[in-house]
Structure 1
Amino acid sequence: MTAVPGAPDSPAPPLTVIVATDCGSTTTKAILIEKIGDEYRQTYRGEAPTTVEAPFEDVTRGVLNAIAEIEELSGRKILDGDRIITPNRAAQGDPKTGVDIYISTSSAGGGLQMMVTGVVQNMTGESAQRAALGAGAIVIDVLASNDGRLPHEKIERIRSMRPDMILMSGGTDGGAVTHVVEMAEYVAAAEPRPRFGATYKLPLIYAGNKDARPQIASVLGDKTALVITENIRPVLERENLAPARDKIHDVFLEHVMQQAPGYKKLIDMAGAPIMPTPAAVGVIMETIAKRERLNLIGVDIGGATTDVFSVFGGVFNRTVSANLGMSYSISNVLAEAGLANIMRWVPFTIDEQALRNRIKNKMVRPTTIPQTLDELQIEHAISREALRLALIHHKSLATALKGVQQERTISDVFEQQQSGRTLIDMLKLDLIVGSGGILSHAPRRIQSMLMMVDAYEPLGFTMLSVDSIFMMPHLGVLSTIDEKAATDVFVRDCMIYLGTCVAPIGQGQEGEVCAECEIAFPDGRTVREPLKYGDLKRYPLELGKKASVTLKPAKTVNAGAGPGAAVTREVHGGVVGLLLDGRGRPLQLPKDDAARVAALTKWFNAVGLYPTCDQ
């Protein structure tokens, strides 16, 4: 494997030309990043079908095809047959040949599918789930001693699921070992076989009570490829997820990916460890949040799954809703949200059966795109529910530690605070980042912005942005070797700032004044007008420009500083601008069908969401 330039033991010069690929389940996407002056920019992009299945059964074919497209567009010679030319030959006077490093991420073959075990389901079981999700896995089941399943049911479940890897946790260091060993015996009895590769043992990472390690090794050492690491819950009051996450990445690279067609060649081609795509997206989200000191929520909504990432107070969490997506899983969105919740976002009257048929057609033909405005509005309605449900799922897992005793004051009793509360505080949220086809490729950017505003109902002052062409995975793996290059490209080429949403918290009768607003624009103009319940207003505010917004809310309305308290904040512009949302929080749509359609039509027309909603 090529040495990573810039590593402590490498005298190589800084990176100037980088090629990165993301091997998805259907498409392999390649980007070229070059240093221009003092900053890094994404310059060319290519893509090709992923080639893990027959007749090719070699993932590197798709990679080389995608890079060949970059070669053609850029005029740079990158390939020498089936080999990527590294390092860049600029030092030898040949500036248009080769690249400094090739890096990649992958979710081909269905991504990394894991099963996790714990002793107590909502304690060590949840900690293990957070560790696996943070490493980029899809968690297909959580087994625990107290999950209500009988021993034979657990054994059958382990045997039938065929995960790529198992993560075992359980017990604090120095505690009882009985239940941890019991779970190991269930795994041993199941003798699980991995999805890929008939000749190798299933990787199993043990990250539980250190006192149980000898017994775990005795029970599972011969039946699995056992890896032992630090306890993810050494004491009740603290989680230690990083060592387990690192081991998951290592085992994914060394065992799981070695079994998939062509991955051994891909690993040899790459100049840095290959990462699971969701893990790489999480890395760049976490990097940006810490660099800018932001609380953020990121979402990647795909055809089969919806990933949600959050960083609050420096704490990173990721969840994957494996049954919520916009094509393969679109019927699951219908089942989980219910037809009424989807129909409430459709700005025209439609027969229930006709809507069901359109949703089923999308599942049957997942690669189709909307051909009419009606079809586009229906897809956008479904996406709002997928995003909303995925955030609810995320909030339930992104929590403070459960089972921890806390000192309490009398005020805590009245506030009903307890361990296990969600870490997601929408009033402290600074930025929402959207990604995935429905958001990145919406015909108009205001459509992406309002989908996220309607689904997430941000409170107070919140910035929104989208990933322009889905290059966050490439930048995530790049950030592990050159953070400046990754953040330069993320800010300048990847992230498209949509603008700021200002949403007071409270409810009232339509037409009543929610807050008095004063907006001081950078060109010297000042707008003073009331924001009424039921209003949705959009003001142009260019990217890179700032305005000062003062809200004087009604007595029962909270603009972020408490009921009735005035707030003045500096807001950032974007390609959409400034959105004032007076529809109330929590957001409630009219129950009557005609009133709902009228309200949606008014809102959508007010912000220019579609060419026309008067149907």
Structure 2
Amino acid sequence: MISMKCYLTIDFGSTYTKLTAIDLVGERILATAKDITTVEDDIMIGFDKAYEKLVKEIEKEIPISQVEFVDKIACSSAAGGLKMVAIGLVPELTAEAAKKAALGAGARVMKTYSYELNSREMEEIKNSPIDIILLAGGTDGGNKECIIHNARLVVEHDIRKPIIVAGNKAASDEIERIFSEAGLDYYMADNVMPKINKLNVEPAREEIRKVFMNKIIEAKGMKKAESFISGILMPTPAAVLKAAEVLSEGTDEEDGIGDLIIVDIGGATTDIHSIGKGDPSKPGVLLKGLEDPVAKRTVEGDLGMRYSAISLLEAAGTRKIRNYLNDVDKKWDVKGHCNYRHDHIKMVPQTKEEILFDEAMAKVATELSMTRHCGVLECIYTPMGTMFNQSGKDLLNAPYIIGTGGVIVHSENPRGILEAGKFNPAEPIYLKPENPKFMVDKTYILSSMGLLAQKEPDLAIKIMKKYLIEV
């Protein structure tokens, strides 16, 4: 006899496959489990091992025969996630708008290209390990020659990747004709920047998610999982961003908590998600350049705990890492520790020394990724006196920073890691949060809640409020 109805959410991560059973009536997490992702062989091997662990956890409370999984939904970043290139017209405008659309959809943007491309650039795109091309360029009614030129080059170089077109609408008919005649796999979306400095990224994001679900899953060996689950809904980073949005904004029935920032530190990247308009909070500050989307994501591919340990050292320098280690006497072999982690990507810190070094790396990743994500002030001198231009988001008054990722979740001092992302009076031009509260995703539920929010947003908010722990 069935006595408990549950959702099962699955995150096929690049390192771990994570399962979460959600009790719909009790509005709680019934059980979680994880095991190593096995994308090279058969994605279901790692899943089955994690599922066995999940069943054991559930059966501590209730026989599995009495549990009905009414839906099984998944997200994925296995096999490197979703890799893209973004092509635009002007680097600071449509190319950047295309990049913002791609990042918000959960993609990792390998490179951004601008202006009319040449054959060398097209060959570079053709030979790069990408999944999707985002083709943008020109405001509506503006320059259309550039995007049409680039569309023709894609055909000439026989680049057989899914292409999302999100540029000047005046060029849409011609591009459709070019791609249709060539038999390319293409998708049309509204312009990512219909007017100068005005973003419209959501239509392109939605097309990227559709392509991910329809095409990329098969390429990543996920087809075998589809007989068990309802489908892969989105890339994992998009699920985390969806969780952030619904927790921040709320629904008609359930209040959100307001603006927030999520710091997600992984083995290969550090992702920052921020929800909020980010308008200037101080007098005498003017917005400059392209606006940021309310739901913004940045990915720092050189700031990771394992795969990117060497590039993290290069980005930070030994001095910054030593500062977080309080290593005045330079006793630590900083380079040796980073090299070891790069060469042993599945290393789990055991000794006090290993834990301390991991946490110093995490603080560096938090500090640098927040510096790159937040808005920046530029001092200008006018006849009216000194004023400031703001590029990006003002996050000074952001009330919450939420931490997730292994190094934060397992830390005995997660607040110490997250505090590295706060406003620094020594660098006042970077508009980081001044007095945020800190919360931790101790049960690893953010991607799960992003999936749940697609179906049951009210329930997702209630569970996040219950399980995100203030530290």
Q: TM-score range by the shorter chain?
A: 0.7 to 0.9
Alignment CA distance shift 1:340-1:250 (3 Å)? same
CA distance in 2, matches of 1:31, 1:459: 31
Q: Report deviation, 1:332.
A: 0.6
Tell me which of 202, 207, 212 is aligned to 1:242: 202
Q: For the Cα contact (< 8 Å) 2:302–2:315, is it kept in 1?
A: no
Q: For the Cα contact (< 8 Å) 2:422–2:434, is it kept in 1?
A: no
**2:337 is aligned with what amino acid?**
R
**2:314 is aligned with what amino acid?**
A
Query: Which has the higher Rg, Structure 1 or Structure 2?
Result: 1
Residues 501-552 of structure 1: per-residue CA shift (max 9 Å, x gap): xxxxxxxxxxxxxxxxxxxxxxxxxxxxxxxxxxxxxxxxxxxxxxxxxxxx
Q: Report deviation, 1:349.
A: 4.2
Instruction: Tell me, yes or no, if structure 1 residue 364 matches structure 2 residue 343.
Output: yes
CA distance in 1, matches of 2:433, 2:196: 33
Q: For the Cα contact (< 8 Å) 1:203–1:225, is it kept in 2?
A: yes
**2:415 is aligned with what amino acid?**
M
CA distance in 2, matches of 1:98, 1:276: 26
**1:434 is aligned with what amino acid?**
G
Tell me which of 167, 182, 207 is aligned to 1:208: 167
State the partner residue of 2:420: 454
Q: Report deviation, 1:468.
A: 0.4
Instruction: Give me the TM-score of the superposition, normalised by structure 1.
Output: 0.67
Which runs of structure 2 are paired with 1:70-469 in the superposition (5 Å)? Answer: 70-75=54-59, 96-145=66-115, 151-192=118-159, 201-221=160-180, 222=182, 224-261=184-221, 263-271=222-230, 273-291=232-250, 292-313=256-277, 315-349=294-328, 351=330, 354-395=333-374, 414-417=386-389, 421-426=391-396, 428-442=397-411, 444=412, 447-457=413-423, 460-469=434-443
Alignment CA distance shift 1:293-1:348 (3 Å)? closer
Q: Report deviation, 1:320.
A: 0.7
Residues 99-123 of structure 1: per-residue CA shift (max 9 Å, x gap): 1111111111110001110000110
Q: Report deviation, 1:387.
A: 1.3
CA distance in 2, matches of 1:455, 1:97: 42
Q: For the Cα contact (< 8 Å) 2:217–2:232, is it kept in 1?
A: no
Alignment CA distance shift 1:355-1:97 (3 Å)? closer
State the partner residue of 2:283: none
**1:487 is aligned with what amino acid?**
I
CA distance in 1, matches of 2:155, 2:298: 28
CA distance in 2, matches of 1:134, 1:414: 35
* SS of residue matched to 2:371: helix
Q: Report deviation, 1:230.
A: 1.0
State the partner residue of 2:27: 40
* SS of residue matched to 1:233: coil
CA distance in 2, matches of 1:280, 1:175: 34
Instruction: Tell me, yes or no, if structure 1 residue 25 matches structure 2 residue 9.
Output: no
Residues 264-311 of structure 1: per-residue CA shift (max 9 Å, x gap): 343454336521100000000111111235221111100011110001
Tell me which of 19, 38, 46 is aligned to 1:62: 46
**2:408 is aligned with what amino acid?**
L
CA distance in 2, matches of 1:190, 1:158: 10
Percentage of pairs with the same residue: 29
- Higher RCO structure, 1 or 2 (CA under 8 Å, sep 6+): 2
Q: Report deviation, 1:378.
A: 2.1
CA distance in 2, matches of 1:213, 1:268: 38
* SS of residue matched to 1:175: coil
Q: Report deviation, 1:451.
A: 1.6
CA distance in 1, matches of 2:197, 2:90: 15
Q: Report deviation, 1:376.
A: 2.2
Instruction: Tell me, yes or no, if structure 1 residue 490 matches structure 2 residue 459.
Output: no
Question: Which structure 2 segments of 5+ residues have no match?
Answer: 251-255, 279-293, 424-431
**2:81 is aligned with what amino acid?**
G
Q: Report deviation, 1:463.
A: 0.5
Instruction: Give me the TM-score of the superposition, normalised by structure 2.
Output: 0.86
Q: CA RMSD in A?
A: 2.4
CA distance in 2, matches of 1:112, 1:352: 40
* SS of residue matched to 2:393: coil
* SS of residue matched to 1:116: strand
Residues 178-229 of structure 1: per-residue CA shift (max 9 Å, x gap): 111122233233333xxxxxxxx41100010111112212333325301111
Residues 373-420 of structure 1: per-residue CA shift (max 9 Å, x gap): 233222222211111111122236x99xxxxxxxxx976x732336xx
Q: For the Cα contact (< 8 Å) 2:395–2:433, is it kept in 1?
A: no
Aligned residue pairs total: 433
Q: For the Cα contact (< 8 Å) 1:50–1:62, is it kept in 2?
A: yes
**1:415 is aligned with what amino acid?**
M
* SS of residue matched to 1:392: helix
**2:97 is aligned with what amino acid?**
S
Q: Report deviation, 1:436.
A: 0.7
Residues 14-66 of structure 1: per-residue CA shift (max 9 Å, x gap): x9411111111222111111135xx5100112222222212xx3x23433332
Q: Report deviation, 1:317.
A: 0.3
CA distance in 2, matches of 1:162, 1:341: 33
Q: For the Cα contact (< 8 Å) 1:267–1:274, is it kept in 2?
A: no
Q: For the Cα contact (< 8 Å) 1:188–1:223, is it kept in 2?
A: no
Q: Report deviation, 1:232.
A: 1.2
CA distance in 2, matches of 1:232, 1:365: 41
Alignment CA distance shift 1:385-1:246 (3 Å)? same
Q: For the Cα contact (< 8 Å) 1:191–1:223, is it kept in 2?
A: no
* SS of residue matched to 2:346: coil
Q: Report deviation, 1:424.
A: 3.0
